[in-house]
Structure 1
Amino acid sequence: MGASEWFLLLALSVLWGGAFFFGKVAVGELPPLTVVLGRVSLAAVALVAVVHALGGRMPRDLRVWGAFLVMGAINNVIPFSLIFWGQTQIASGLASILNATTPLFAVVFAHVLTRDERMTPARLVGVAVGIGGVVAMIGPQALDGLGTDVLAQAACLGASAVYALAGIYGRRFKAMGVPPLVIAAGQVTCSSVLMLPLVLLVDRPWTLAMPSPAAWGALVGLALACTALAYVIFFRVLATAGATNLLLVTFLIPVSAILLGTLVLGERLEPRHFVGMALIALGLAAIDGRLPAALRSLAGWGAGARATGGQGEE
């Protein structure tokens, strides 16, 4: 990935890092399915309005809308519902660690389902090191609940697997020539259509108490920042860097959350945070290919130096 892709990935990690906080606030007052509907429907209104304000138009091709429908199901409806339900049972720290397994699923799925994103030992090592960095950064105590609330943890892992599939499926939009802004708008619009009957049937929102201003603020933050803006960035990076590299964002989310807490809230960085950041950086470099390339270059330089030295002695 180039500098622009890394910058966008960092921006995406900041936006999605806030989603765990906003989601925890929202599900404190609203059922998970209702939170998902609020998130995607508000984002759909905002994105479609932006598309038209910029002089664009939504596609009329039914094939494209069919792809939007599938993408909305596997990138929004299913994973959002699983994560928000999981967060009603387990802590956000454990949920974010389980979410960090997404690149592992992506490496495996991309190897099986694509021709140009093959599995390599360096990528597998990088994923393992990155997950270790997330655990170190958040703190091993976040794993205290591992093994209890098994269904909630399985839900978060299932969401990670579905996210990985969505990253691979979404590659097709580049070949269709659909701009990232339109993809994001179409995806969340279809997600809203899928969620509405579920919420009406299961949650019956007209029977719920009126949410507090904090819950409304969390929904707006989820919709506009963590969904609308985030998915424009998501599809742009996907088109240029591929699914495996894109889903590295799950390693960067804890880094962003901790740095924001330090800069905005005055929280202190602890030694484990630096250890975690270092491990994540090593994992990212291994998956991106930079670390293996640097090691090969260093090994080649050392072999060349030894050969030159040996010739001089002769």
Structure 2
Amino acid sequence: MQEIAMTQQKSLSALAWFELILLGLIWGASFLAIRVALDTIPVMTAVFHRVFWAALALWAVVLLRRETIPRDPRIWGAFLVMGLLNNVLPFSLMAWGQLYVDTGLTSILNAATAIFGVLVAAAFFSDERLTKRRAVGVALGFGGVSIAIGLHNFLGFSLQSAAQLAILAGTVSYALAAVWARLRLSGLAPQVAAAGMLSGSTMVMLPVMLVVDGAPSFDLPMTTWIAVAYYALVATAGAYLLYYRVLAAAGSGNLLLVTLIIPPVAILLGAYVRHETLAPNAFIGFAILALGLLILSRARGRD
């Protein structure tokens, strides 16, 4: 999941509801696809596949739509930073975290993106101040995340604890990406911004992959290629296009609701395909987090 941009709250049409739910289903299934790929390919290679193939797909869309491609080096520099904040860091941190954390719990922790997004936006923008309503939503969100992680994990430190912290660090990076996009990439066509960002991500991930994992192997099981195709082409390239449609139609407050759809999808798929089971505290934490997100989604329209 990527950053939630800031736009005016709007009422949801039937089509907007359908697209919002579809986006949640797509992103929810991406956690399973990434975990399946990680069974046979290393983390950095998995991330490289994600940004490389998604970038190619989006540039094809840009060319078909005959969008204007920016030539200003400063914009391409902004793409590079955006790719680092919105793809390289969160994709890598969360993929590594998924090696030690169930897909369902990963998706729950990923929902903290909206919580950190509110805090970071309040720190940078005067029109995104932390009102009382938003403060309540943030407090509930952090409480839910803490319970989902398990309070006992705060008393000691293990590889699983490190993985959970890595996933949360990825959500902070998403929140910073939203600020960077508003400061440096506003005014660009969404397809161009997404394609440029993923190109910057690919430029970073190629040398990182070669140094950490070595040259990628293309002799992979069909299940791995299906998983890669899904999370790169459907859950990244396709989801970016759908994301901006929903954002334009529903507004950022309603778009926060997608974070409530993702975890149940990921939990069900993880249980059915990989026989994962989550502790009761994960469900309790998600319920509290969901309440906080609902408050935040309404706050965007009322503050």
Q: Same fold (TM over 0.5)?
A: yes
Residue 67 (structure 2) aligned to one of 56, 62, 75: 56
Residue matched to 1:82 = 93
Report the CA distance between 1:283 and its aligned residue.
3.3
| Structure 2 segments unaligned to the other structure (5+ residues) | 1-8, 272-280
The answer to whether the aligner puts 1:187 opposite 2:197 as a matched pair is: yes
CA distances 1:11-59 after superposition (whole Å, capped 9, x unpaired):
3322221211111001111001000000110011111011111222421
Report the CA distance between 1:99 and its aligned residue.
1.5
Aligned partners of 2:35 and 2:98 also within 8 Å: yes
CA distances 1:139-186 after superposition (whole Å, capped 9, x unpaired):
x6x7499453222122111101111111221123664x2111111111
Residue matched to 1:304 = none
For the residue of structure 2 that corresponds to 1:170, the secondary structure is helix
The answer to whether the aligner puts 1:286 opposite 2:295 as a matched pair is: yes
Report the CA distance between 1:68 and its aligned residue.
0.9
Aligned partners of 2:91 and 2:170 also within 8 Å: yes
Query: In structure 2, what is the Cα distance between the partners aligned to 1:189 and 1:292?
Result: 34
For the residue of structure 1 that corresponds to 2:188, the secondary structure is coil
**Higher relative contact order, structure no. (Cα contacts within 8 Å, ≥ 6 residues apart):** 2
For the residue of structure 2 that corresponds to 1:171, the secondary structure is helix
Aligned partners of 2:26 and 2:235 also within 8 Å: yes
Residue matched to 2:206 = 196
Q: State the percentage of identical aligned residues.
A: 44
Alignment of 1:18-57 (within 5 A): 18-57=29-68
Residue matched to 1:111 = 122
TM-score for the superposition, normalised by structure 2: 0.77
TM-score for the superposition, normalised by structure 1: 0.75
Distance 1:202 1:79, change over 3 A: same
Alignment of 1:1-314 (within 5 A): 1-2=9-10, 3=12, 8-129=19-140, 143=150, 146=153, 148-149=158-159, 150-172=161-183, 175=186, 177-206=187-216, 208=217, 210-235=219-244, 249-257=258-266, 282-289=291-298
The one-letter code sitting in structure 2 at the alignment partner of 1:38 is: H
Aligned partners of 2:51 and 2:201 also within 8 Å: yes
For the residue of structure 2 that corresponds to 1:116, the secondary structure is helix
Q: State the superposition RMSD in angstroms.
A: 3.6
| Structure 1 segments unaligned to the other structure (5+ residues) | 263-271, 297-314
**Bigger Rg, which one:** 1
Report the CA distance between 1:95 and its aligned residue.
1.7
